[in-house]
Chain A
Amino acid sequence: MDSETAHSKSVLPDRRNGILRGALLQRRSEVRKSWKHLISADCLEHLGPIAPEVEAFLSGPDAARGWPLLDHFTWLCSDADFWGCLQAFALARKIECRPGYTAPAPLSLGSLKRLASADGFKLLCVRYCCPVNIAAPSELEIAEELLRQLMVTDRAKIEAGGAFDVAGVLLRLNLVGIRALVARDLRSLDALNYFYELPHRSLVRMRANSRLLAFWLCIYTQLLSKPDWLKCGQL
């Protein structure tokens, strides 16, 4: 190996990672200053007792739970319900999970695609009652489909200015964000970047579901604070 090759292999990933990290931290600081444009006072009011915590989380110093790369977990179970787990995850609280010995029966992509949006929403909430499971190896196909729906179908609808299923889009953003956090998938992180960069008029329509909107932003800020994205071994 000549010196130039050695240099490329050791230094350049660090340099790329440095550029990426710098840009993401800059975005984090931007979110810290401007999240109130997105989550209005009305939205905060709708959040009820968790509003102060959400406010502190988005405005305060970075807090992220260090999820290990969970390559070999099968399924995790929790006593909390979907909303309790999602809230804990979004606010980087400790989640009481215990390993499940078997994953539930595989969910076929066909059936997920065929379901009406409300039924699909319910199905995803039940299946990912402990939302970390979206990053389980057995859920790769579903996670890929959710990412595809966001970046193809939902994106096209939103950019065309048409009506879109706010709750469905936000649920997908939350699940894809959790997958990015746990499986360290850059494409999933960038889906959240993309939606955050949508025109303000599109984003304010998401206020219709203030809870999922707040959780999405909280998960996004955790992703922005995560170091070493490029050292996590992309495919």
Chain B
Amino acid sequence: MRTAVVASSIAAGVRVAAGIENLPGVDVFIVVCNVGMRPALLRWARELFLALRSFEWRTLTTKVWSYARSGKLIILRRPLNDSASTERLRSLRCDVGLHAANVIYREPTISAFKLGILNAHIGILPKYRGRSVVEWSVLQGDPIGVTVFFIDSGIDTGRRIVLREFIPSDRWNDARALKNMLFGCDARLYRKALEGLMRPGVQFENNDISKGRRYYVVSKIFTQIVDEILSVGANRGHANRSQNGAFGNLSTKVEIDFGQRKSMLREQTRGNDGTYLHGNSDIPCLHR
């Protein structure tokens, strides 16, 4: 499976790529986009700063050299959604893109990948779309977790959920640390998602947006409230509720034949038959 990490910096791209590059059958590219169209000097100064901050600059340098030498490190000069960038992405003939950049994708960029672009969203879909979903989940006493799904051009509205993992938040005393931990799960979950996608007869759960809401950035007062809830452990009941399958039961079944580089989408609706497990913190919600 040809996979491209779409990253906002080389360091971010290498970090995610390192998590999946030894997966059998996966060929990894790193596409670095110039978020905010920074001038060249600023862009490279930022890259250098991020590399040094990683404290693993030797490994990073080795990996960057290795990707660059094999033509698998692509530095985009134009904005990601520019037609020249889209054309460059198309030329890679990738099956899947992995979102690791702070950008909004337009339809032509998404369709440059055969299956689409995966996003590791730090909230449970379909209930929690948008921003600050960790804070909103804590506030409303819902479980915390990450959902890996194929994006579309809307805000967390892509219909195909590949996997969802509930992650205990008990040990975290403030929202910022909790979010950083969840953001750091992306490489591991992308790996799990790719493993799932390569299995025959993979099934996706439908991201039924009517079962959720779009959330927005939280105010300072709500952030303080969330921190207090976390620090006194008033969120600790969620682990019990997460096993009740309180989310959508519709699913979309997709069959993919990577050998022929084509995908066939077959949709079917599932009833409330408990086919998908939502509560187990270690089991992705793929087919059973």
Contacts and interface: CB of A to CB of B under 8 A. Distances in A.
B138 to A, nearest CB: 8
A97 to B, nearest CB: 27
Contact of A16 (B127, B220, B235): B235
A186 B139 contact: yes
A235 B213 contact: yes
Contacts of A8: 236-237, 240-241
Given A5-B240, A191-B216, A234-B140, A12 B234 contact: yes
Interface string B206-227: 0000001111111111101100
Contacts of B241: 8-9
Contact of B214 (A4, A9, A20, A144): A144
A14 to B, nearest CB: 9
A27 interface: yes
Contacts of A16: 139, 141, 229, 234-235
Contacts of A118: none
A4 B237 CA distance: 8
Report the 7 A-B pairs with minimum CB-CB distance, sorted nearest first.
Answer: A8-B237, A193-B219, A151-B216, A15-B234, A12-B237, A194-B219, A5-B240
Contacts of A191: 216
A197 B217 contact: no
Interface in B137-173: 139-141
Interface of B: 127, 136, 139-141, 212-222, 224-225, 228-229, 232, 234-237, 240-241
Interface of A: 4-5, 7-9, 12-13, 15-16, 19-20, 23-24, 27, 144, 147-148, 151-152, 155, 186-187, 190-191, 193-194, 196-197, 230, 234-235
A19 B214 contact: no
B45 to A, nearest CB: 24
A23 B240 contact: no
A147 B234 contact: no
Q: Which of A16, A24, A147, A187 has the most CB of B within 10 A?
A: A16
A107 B237 CA distance: 41
Contact of A186 (B140, B217, B229): B140
8 contacts: A7-B237, A23-B225, A148-B214, A186-B139, A190-B219, A191-B216, A196-B219, A234-B140
B234 A190 contact: no
A13 B142 CA distance: 11
